[in-house]
Chains A and B, each alone.
Chain A
Amino acid sequence: MSLSREQLMRYHDGELSEAEAHAVEAALEDEPELAGELEAYGELGSFVRAWDQSNSAKLATFDVSASVMAALEPPRARVHALLPRIATWVSLGAAIAAGSVLVVRSWSAPPVAPGGPRAGEHAELSIASAVPELSAVLPGQEAKPSPATIESVDFGSNAGTVFVVSTDSSETPVVWMPDDAEPDEGDEDRSESL
């Protein structure tokens, strides 16, 4: 007669009826190896009982919430580890965004109105180039409108200078050409020249 493992375990645990127990005992006599297996079940039961006794105190004080929180600790640690990286990325993104804003605003800003040359009230300039107005406006001082710009001058064979006359309210480019060369036909008097 062959015994199932379940029957043997139930026999070990004393859960079989009397008839079934007799049958198992008969089988154990016929097959000595089953006795060894039954002995192993006994050792396993002893081990379980011993483990149960040694851990009963721990089981009694087992805190589920603490275990859950402990289980959550690793992801939290990961989040903490990611924060510096996120901050770096956010900073980088903010820098890129700020750069984009500056570029867009520089594209959309109106061009700087060119101002005339300014080198004192009577500074001589060979040509007035488009120099942006750089003079600072002090608090309470009225901002001067940007002057017209002399872009190019051809004096021909004559001498001339270009300068800017600056007043409190305006700056005006001046092309100064004193003509002390030969008189024109029809001009009555050109005896005086600056």
Chain B
Amino acid sequence: MKRVSLALCTLVAVLTLPAYAAKDKPSPSAAPAPSVAPAPSAQPKVEHPLATEVLILHATNEQKGIDPRIGKLPELGKPPFSNYDSYQVLERARLPLKADDPQNLKLPNGRTLQVRLLDESGPNSVRLSASINRPNGKEFLPLLEVKAQVGQAFIVAGQSHKKGILVLVIRVVK
């Protein structure tokens, strides 16, 4: 019976130790996960602080086509964006993501977009909030909370502007 117990213990150890060993090794294919990230106190300083790049587009049906400055944005060819045949870049802005310093961007329709960092869940992953306020102080979009990684984008669209609508493409960048 002792031999059986010894064999079982050896088997369990042989099968489980590689898993423990693999736990400490970073996976080359997977992105760094927050669960294996070092403690906040041990995190290295981020060389390039995260920011949001806000691309303000004006969508109309004036048959002007798509502004080449937009670059690759295949979403514009999908409904409901495909309901407009013209997209022009009105502004491109970079807003640093800071938890204690909300960044404001005045929109072409007079409203203000505010972006704020809520928390960093990883070196390339953030939770941020966005809101849009009217010039009179009334809230248009009181609160939008988004979790995104570097390179990921979300779109806020639909605000009326000059026979068209505004399309805000907000992307997390470094």
Contacts and interface: CB of A to CB of B under 8 A. Distances in A.
Contact of A154 (B8, B142, B157): B142
Interface residues of B, number: 62
Interface in A138-194: 145-156, 158, 160, 165-170, 172-180, 184-194
Given A110-B35, A191-B163, A194-B165, A184 B74 contact: no
Contact of B15 (A101, A113, A168): A101
Contact of A175 (B19, B35, B155): B155
Interface in B36-78: 36, 74-75, 77-78
B23 A108 contact: yes
A149 B142 contact: no
A86 interface: yes
B75 A155 contact: no
Interface string B98-136: 000000000001110000000000000001000000111
Contact of A158 (B32, B109, B127, B141): B141
Nearest to A191: B163
Interface residues of A, number: 64
A93 B19 contact: no
Interface string B149-160: 101111111111
A119 interface: no
B143 to A, nearest CB: 4
A152 B142 CA distance: 11
B21 to A, nearest CB: 10
Contacts of B136: 184-185
A111 interface: yes
A132 interface: no
A122 interface: yes
A148 B52 CA distance: 13
B12 to A, nearest CB: 4
**Chain B binding site: helix, strand, loop or mixed by DSSP?**
mixed
A186 B110 contact: yes
B36 A110 contact: yes
Contact of B140 (A101, A156, A193): A156
A107 B36 CA distance: 10
A48 interface: no
A151 B143 CA distance: 11
B99 to A, nearest CB: 16
Contacts of B93: none
B80 interface: yes
A110 B121 CA distance: 13
Interface of A: 85-86, 89-90, 92-94, 96-98, 100-101, 104-105, 107-111, 113-114, 121-122, 130, 145-156, 158, 160, 165-170, 172-180, 184-194
Given A110-B32, A145-B151, 15 more contacts: A86-B4, A100-B19, A148-B172, A150-B146, A152-B144, A155-B141, A170-B75, A172-B153, A174-B156, A177-B159, A180-B160, A185-B110, A186-B110, A187-B160, A192-B160
23 contacts: A96-B12, A97-B12, A101-B15, A104-B19, A108-B36, A110-B30, A110-B31, A110-B35, A121-B78, A148-B148, A151-B147, A154-B142, A165-B78, A175-B156, A176-B80, A178-B158, A178-B160, A179-B140, A184-B109, A184-B110, A184-B135, A185-B135, A194-B165
Top 3 nearest A-B pairs (CB, nearest first) are A110-B33, A108-B23, A148-B148
